[in-house]
């Protein structure tokens, strides 16, 4: 279809009107709403848009994320945690998938790289705290000293972890995933078996544990080519 000379997008039109200080001002959002509103849409004005889509995608607006009450900053962690000198400090994360029908809660011990994981059908703070407690409560006290998370609302019930497990929870700075390098690096290999398009509901809990076990039994250079499982078992023996 031929385009009119000088035709532009709603953003370009609105911006040019502002630049020229025209008495006719309109926002690009108003132009879009007019084009797609009923009954104007029957005139098919969308054909004159750069992408000429017959329907408009749903508009998503980011809500301002409220700070997690009582959060403890990662900068309050001790040097022994930062340097991986002490055993028993964990990092937690929630792996999400495209369909949002399921999530995978993961936790990695910083010194040995051992991963624990479980499916999480509901992305709620209460469900996340309960599942994290279930992952860690069977470990000796020396193997669960602290956990570091991001600022997602799913970790808002961190006080429950502190009550149930007696461990402090630390939070990264906003938009700073590199501050949880252990969990970021550990989740990477899992994505080869569980890409974002995965329908996690089709996987049993045993399927998930088999994938995690394969990760825990892969030798690591930084561990002197021990596996995370071997390194973790060694640390447990040293604690008893």
Contact 67, 60 (CB under 8 A): no
pLDDT at position 100 is: 61
Residue 240 has pLDDT above 80, yes or no: no
The average pLDDT across 181-186 equals 90
Name the β-bridge partners of 147: 90, 169
The average pLDDT across 209-225 equals 94
DSSP state at residue 120: E
Mean of the per-residue pLDDT values for the chain? 86
Q: Which CATH number fits domain 72-239: 3.40.50.300, 3.30.1360.30, 3.30.420.10, 1.10.40.30?
A: 3.30.420.10
pLDDT at position 150 is: 93
Distance between CA atoms of residues 212 and 187, nearest Å? 10
Distance between CA atoms of residues 111 and 96, nearest Å? 25
pTM for the predicted model, two decimal places: 0.71
Residue 112 has pLDDT above 50, yes or no: yes
The average pLDDT across 29-46 equals 79
Residue 2 has pLDDT above 60, yes or no: no
- The domain locations on the chain are 10-48, 72-239
Residue 75 has pLDDT above 90, yes or no: yes
The average pLDDT across 117-139 equals 92
């Amino acid at each position: 279809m031929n385009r009119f000379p000088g035709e532009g997008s709603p953003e370009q039109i609105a911006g040019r009107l502002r630049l020229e200080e025209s008495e006719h001002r309109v926002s690009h959002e108003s132009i879009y709403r007019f084009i797609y509103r009923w009954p104007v849409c029957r005139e098919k004005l969308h054909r004159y848009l750069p992408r000429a889509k017959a329907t408009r995608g749903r508009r998503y607006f980011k809500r301002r994320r409220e700070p997690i009450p009582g959060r403890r900053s990662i900068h309050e962690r001790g040097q022994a945690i930062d340097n991986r000198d002490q055993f028993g400090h964990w990092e937690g994360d929630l792996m999400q998938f495209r369909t949002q029908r399921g999530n995978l809660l993961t936790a990695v011990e910083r010194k040995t790289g051992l991963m624990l994981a479980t499916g999480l059908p509901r992305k709620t703070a209460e469900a996340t705290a309960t599942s994290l407690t279930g992952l860690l409560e069977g470990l000796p006290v020396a193997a669960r000293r602290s956990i570091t998370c991001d600022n997602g609302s799913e970790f808002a019930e961190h006080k429950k972890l502190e009550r149930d497990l007696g461990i402090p929870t630390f939070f990264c700075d906003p938009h700073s995933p590199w501050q949880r390098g252990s969990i970021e690096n550990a989740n990477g290999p899992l994505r080869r078996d569980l890409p974002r398009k995965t329908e996690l509901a089709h996987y049993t809990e045993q399927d998930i544990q088999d994938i995690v076990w394969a990760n825990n039994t892969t030798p690591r250079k930084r561990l002197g080519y021990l596996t995370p499982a071997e390194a973790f078992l060694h640390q447990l023996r040293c604690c008893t």
